[in-house]
Structure 1
């Protein structure tokens, strides 16, 4: 007979159970969270206060920065507090709340990246029609769809998760309330949950990824036809930053959730998860500003640095 005692809290096994390593992890994650938060906030403020950046591309970028900020904030602060207090506990309600916002913000991030790929496709392949097609109404729609659809999908997962029973085992072999990990801990029938993870996960991750590949195929073809090397570099630089973010984000997500289970190990999955939940959102503002003189100029103006745009 299974112990049917209701679980009131979960315990994270985390990245390490050694106090010395936990202190190191606390410093590393605190530094990354601070840098990522500062970078994304500065990107948002620079775009908001510089009228030259009030274009579709930067509108999408500011929304991506806000999503990255929210995405990391669903996980890292709780992890830091637990490391600081020497605790590994999270209440049942907090766990479901964390899972909801993780799925919602992560899904929004994924779908928004495909909208940004469409924007780059229009800019590179149809520059003469770009202004008439990419209107303010279409931009608003391309941002609203990720938010609304991802939150609806997250609500479905959370409601179904709340119906599951959790018995004696309350130890989560992760550093946050990952949906797949919680499903494995449940002592209920999880068939519906597992099928919806695959179905809705495909909609949120694989469909946007396929849309990005479809958008970039004509982009690469158009860039290849440019005769001069300088012209090719200039054309591809408008979407190179976005492509770098796509590779970092989807590469690790697909590796964690869509690989055969026989290739998975808990430690490997956690390291890959750190990449797309913490490292990528931290790097995004720097990836986008590295070769973007307009954004660097706006950041310099915001920070009062006249020659910031000349820094390479």
Structure 2
């Protein structure tokens, strides 16, 4: 089956989610909830799932007395649910969302978002990374047609031994290196509890926004930096698990994420002065991957949910 490298990356990203026990187990319950929210699977129903991600998540997050492992597992599931939803709405566009994983993350992208404290490189609090690729032929043609060399000038083999596995990481890295100035990077930090974690994205966004440091702090590694990409944003997405009546426009947790470069979002309908629905991230940060609206591109792939895109497990 012919497939461009962007859609192949998207498929690998989603299959990676379903390969984890926590997400796979939760999906058995979430799928039924999603079916109830989007019974006809229209473009608007699928897009508007962003307003109900909290409800979907809570169908498997009902325990009041949770252990630390429960909290950790819940956080991983929330990241995965957000990743699943965003990728669903991005099919057919040049943007892919992946969990921060060395198997799918192009090394030059990872280098660009690395923060260095003196001689110590630190990975950011980046649960999800959205990459928007440029409007160039190599990203639209069949992935087997791509011909590209590595930084040493050697041809990169398309497949590893015996054509068993596509060499996506090396090919993607070479493409990203070649087109680095035309790529967008969007970090999406996902947390279940808003109150406990609001300060973290505020500080990381401040680090990325700074252009000069007095101490030995720098952003970027091996010659790659976010200052050289086409666009960079840092966003925060929360469930939230805290009682909603405790979150007000004047709450400290709201102030802390109010001015993030990529915005702050939750798995609920937008509420002015507090947070936007996750679906609004698509228009604010992840829009440039197509000239068409998200509704238009979603509508185009719906007939293929049971075939080409069956890995989303919506049918």
TM-score relative to the length of structure 1: 0.28
- More contact order relative to length (CA 8 Å, sep ≥ 6): 1
For normalisation by structure 2, the TM-score amounts to 0.28
Q: Point out the structure with max Rg over C-alpha.
A: 1
Q: Which structure is higher in strand share?
A: 2
